Structure 1
Amino acid sequence: MRPTFGPGTWDQVDVPLLKGYLRARSAKTQGNREMALLSLIWNWARGEGYTTLVWPAAGMERSGWKNKEKPRRMRVRDEIWNAIRYEGDQVLHDCMDLASATGMRLTDCITVLMPRTDILHLEASKTGKEAEWDLSLSATLPDLLARRRALGADHLMLLSTPDGRPVNLKMLRYRWDTARERAAVKASLADDGQSVAAIRALFLRDGRKRAAQKSGSLEEASDLLQHDDKRLTERHYGAVRKLKPVA
């Protein structure tokens, strides 16, 4: 940010300067995210009295001043997901199962509380929306819950390491990167270049995308991801309208 903003003052920041930053940013989508964060910081600063100026791009959401984004559309194929899962440990298995069964974001996976019954309750960290899942209806989550209860860890989170520590994003990132690379090497040794590319293109957060794609309908996927608009589910998570032939 320093080459663009330097020692600039509040009044020197305008839309052309912001657009110049976005043009110079190599990671275009990430640049948009950084602008969103900067606007939050700016408005916080207004509330604290550091500036009285309005965010320069306020009201320009529909003007197309940010970098154009193309949704990352891909199918999370079972064989690719399972190839990575096979190389992981139980901590990674549990997180992958939880994310792909419930559609939770990773931050929610590591902070959701262990339920006292079979009903898992979540207040989403990003939206504040509440949801419940009956774990007895899942093919994989009852085993996760049974292991967690047998562990008897002191912390309250559902996900746990075998030695009783709560799971954090750093732990998951290391485990995922390691398992994904091992799976990619195996696919490379099998001379399966297509699978290598698909494995390396997958992220742990795609468990949420996988949950949407495995849902029975677009409506079910939208409900699972707690979206108010089904178009968001369809556009960003690859959930498709499953239609029935009429003849």
Structure 2
Amino acid sequence: MVTYYFYDRRLDGEPDVPLGTDFDQAIKKWDEIHNKAPRIVGTLEEAFSRWEKEVLPTYTSIETKKGYAKNLRTIRPIFADSTWDQVDMPSIKGYLKARSAKTQGNREMSLLSIIWNWARGEGLTRLPWPAAGMERSKWKNKETPRRMVVTDQLFEALYAEGNQLLRDCMDLSTATGMRLTDCITVLMPRNDMLRLEASKTGKEADYDINVSQVLPELVARRKAMRTNHLMLLSTEDGKRVTHTTLRYWYDKARNQAYVKAALANDDEFMREIRRLVLRDMRKRAAQLAGGLDEASALLQHNDKRLTQRHYGAVAKLKPTR
């Protein structure tokens, strides 16, 4: 038998505030409300505050933490003071409609659903997520995947202007399909096998460097360096690579490639260079793969439709006659 505690507000014409099932915690929350302490009990801020302290630090991916923290800062001012019954389908659709960054708004609603369902498990609310079972109604903002083809010309223009670190990163990403975070953190290979544990998904994979055109030279160059770490990629002075370091060298190389295209009066190529970002090397890996099946396996996707939608990989078919 489970006992649920509530703060009775019927005399005020307000809905009762759920206090959970733990008696001591219920008394504490009752005291906060009854004695007019700063009130977060019964509002989404209670869940935001606890989730931020108890759950967010448990994520191992730095990028996931940063993304969730950013999304929480955005939705907090809008929903923090709301009680659970005040957040319904029209209100979250209204938020998405008013949001100028449409795709980012979808990410923020995904986080809100994660926190909401966590709160249900903690007894902070009994109400289901308002959009539960609404997947087919397409209630979120429509997203258009970013289409970018990294041609040989585009790749070589950037590669020619990059320093050795940037070139190594480009080679590693296009050879393996690794995300940038994984390129930075992957360890030196053992017995000619490069072991990846993907930071985003936790999936593991081994790459035989001997069947690669670029990895053996990269590894040999790294072994000849004096460093204070075990990562495959390294700065020229033997230090660990950071996103900031890579961004600096990438921006510098792209600007130099852009200037050369401008001097050649190639406006279309200038636009392509400006659109190119370093994470597009993962797209190039998909393009270089033998087809949709190989691209999906290389990028470690469970669903080939994801590979096709976001990375432009297509099935290569043989005509029957």
Q: TM-score with structure 2 length normalisation?
A: 0.71
Number of equivalenced pairs: 247
Q: CA deviation at 1:198?
A: 0.9
Q: CA deviation at 1:214?
A: 0.6
In the alignment, which of 257, 274, 290 is matched to residue 216 of structure 1? 290
- Against the structure 1 CA distance between its residues 7 and 93, is the aligned structure 2 distance closer, same or farther, given a 3 Å change threshold? same
Q: Are positions 1:134 and 2:208 aligned together?
A: yes
Q: CA deviation at 1:34?
A: 2.2
In the alignment, which of 60, 71, 74 is matched to residue 148 of structure 2? 74
Match of 2:109 in 1: 35
Q: Cα deviation per residue 1:84-132 (whole Å; 9 max; x = unaligned)?
A: 2222222211111111110011121111111122110112122222111
Q: Are positions 1:189 and 2:263 aligned together?
A: yes
Residues 48-127 of structure 1 correspond to what in structure 2 (within 5 A)? 50-127=124-201
Structure 1 residue matching 2:260: 3-state secondary structure: helix
Match of 1:205 in 2: 279
Which protein, 1 or 2, shows the higher relative CO under an 8 Å CA cutoff with sep ≥ 6? Answer: 1
Q: CA deviation at 1:239?
A: 0.9
Question: How far apart, in 2, do the equivalents of 1:135 and 1:156 lie?
Answer: 17
Residues 130-169 of structure 1 correspond to what in structure 2 (within 5 A)? 130-169=204-243
Preserved CA contact (<8 Å) 1:92 1:176: yes
Question: How far apart, in 2, do the equivalents of 1:194 and 1:6 lie?
Answer: 47
Q: Which consecutive unaligned segments of at least 5 residues does structure 2 have? A: 1-73
Give the letter aligned to residue 207 of structure 1.
M
Preserved CA contact (<8 Å) 1:4 1:20: no
Of structures 1 and 2, the larger Rg is shown by 2
Q: Which consecutive unaligned segments of at least 5 residues does structure 1 have? A: none
- Against the structure 1 CA distance between its residues 15 and 168, is the aligned structure 2 distance closer, same or farther, given a 3 Å change threshold? farther
Preserved CA contact (<8 Å) 2:262 2:270: yes
Question: How far apart, in 2, do the equivalents of 1:13 and 1:21 lie?
Answer: 11
Q: CA deviation at 1:15?
A: 2.4
Match of 2:247 in 1: 173
Structure 2 residue matching 1:132: 3-state secondary structure: strand
Structure 2 residue matching 1:72: 3-state secondary structure: coil
CA RMSD of aligned residues (A): 2.1
Q: TM-score with structure 1 length normalisation?
A: 0.90
Question: How far apart, in 2, do the equivalents of 1:44 and 1:91 lie?
Answer: 42
